[in-house]
Amino acid sequence: MSIAFAWQNLPIGLPWAAALAGCLGLAAGWGLSALARALPRELERAWREQTCGAAQAIPAGANDGRQTDWRLDARSAAMAALTASVFAACAWRLGATPAALSGMALAAALIALAWIDAETGLLPDALTLPLLWLGLLVNLHGALAPLPSAVLGAAAGYVLPWSAYRLLRWRTGLDGMGYGDFKLMAALGAWFGLAALPWPLLGASLAASAAGLGMRWSGRLRRGQAMPFGPYLAAGGILMLLVVAPMGRFFAA
């Protein structure tokens, strides 16, 4: 995908593009809610099969009490509405372009990851690693960031928070982040480049700190209790997509 192609406007008006993207996001949101529920169960089942043997594996229908009808679940409806809004915003901010379609793919993955991490505390490699490689492919010709910056962003996105994690663990014995967070940061670096990398991390850290203080004050979070960081990183990535990514037109000049 060349730079010119990535930012070439398709023959459709911007309001119509945003409306169509919203409809696509509404349908995608329902599918994402099903994926976000099914994927952790499949990963747990595979893990139990490896550790306990097939004889003790979880039956296919076990632990599905929550899965009455996901289409009627209020959280699934909220997820669909959120995805529709973000897709429409992508089309409005990035234009009726292939770059907007790439942004929608990124937003969909981030929304699913935020849901899964909030529910289970997991950021599955099945989503984070393909997201990283897709970011590098999108930036192969600098659609959102120059390729060298994207490669360095992917490397720094993993190494820097991993180093901070190891230092924190050495000094305090506490786990500040998880390996899934490092991979998600690497994916964001691959999409937005090295220069943009500090902003989603800083925003996510501030938002998570504020949320943690509020939860501690309300008694919903105990001292030393871990809280998922992925939803805050995902929100930072979506904000970067909608606020900073339109500047990618600079690279098309």
What residue spans define the domains of the chain?
Answer: 9-252
143 or 157: which leads in pLDDT: 157
For 60-85, write each residue's pLDDT tens digit: 444 444 445 544 578 888 899 999 99
> Secondary structure of the chain: what % helix, strand, coil (to 5)?
75, 0, 25
pLDDT at 80: 92
pLDDT at 4: 61
Residue that the structure tokens 């500040």 belong to: 176
Q: What is the mean pLDDT of the chain?
A: 82
Of the candidates 197, 181, 185, the residue with the CA atom closest to the CA atom of residue 229: 181
pLDDT at 245: 67
Residue that the structure tokens 């192609």 belong to: 5
Rounded to two decimals, what is the model's pTM? Answer: 0.85
Identify which of 58-67, 84-93, 170-179 has the greatest average pLDDT: 84-93
pLDDT at 58: 47
pLDDT at 67: 47
Over 90: is that where the pLDDT of 246 sits?
no
79 or 167: which leads in pLDDT: 79
pLDDT above 90 coverage of the chain, percent: 40
pLDDT at 226: 66
pLDDT at 225: 62
Over 90: is that where the pLDDT of 172 sits?
no
Strand blocks (E) in the chain? none
Report the pLDDT averaged over residues 174-193: 88
Report the pLDDT averaged over residues 170-197: 85
Over 60: is that where the pLDDT of 143 sits?
yes
Query: CA separation (Å) from 23 to 33, 86, 104, 242?
Result: 16, 11, 12, 18
- Give the H/E segment covering residue 74: helix 74-94
Residues 22 and 110: their CA atoms lie apart, in Å, by: 17
For 96-127, write each residue's pLDDT tens digit: 888 899 999 999 999 999 999 988 988 999 99
50-64, 112-126, 152-166: which range is least confident on average? 50-64
233 or 47: which leads in pLDDT: 233
Residue that the structure tokens 């942004």 belong to: 103
Q: What is the 3-state secondary structure (H, E, C) of 173-234?
A: CCCCCCHHHHHHHHHHHHHHCCCCCHHHHHHHHHHHHHHHHHHHHHCCCCCCCCCCCHHHHH
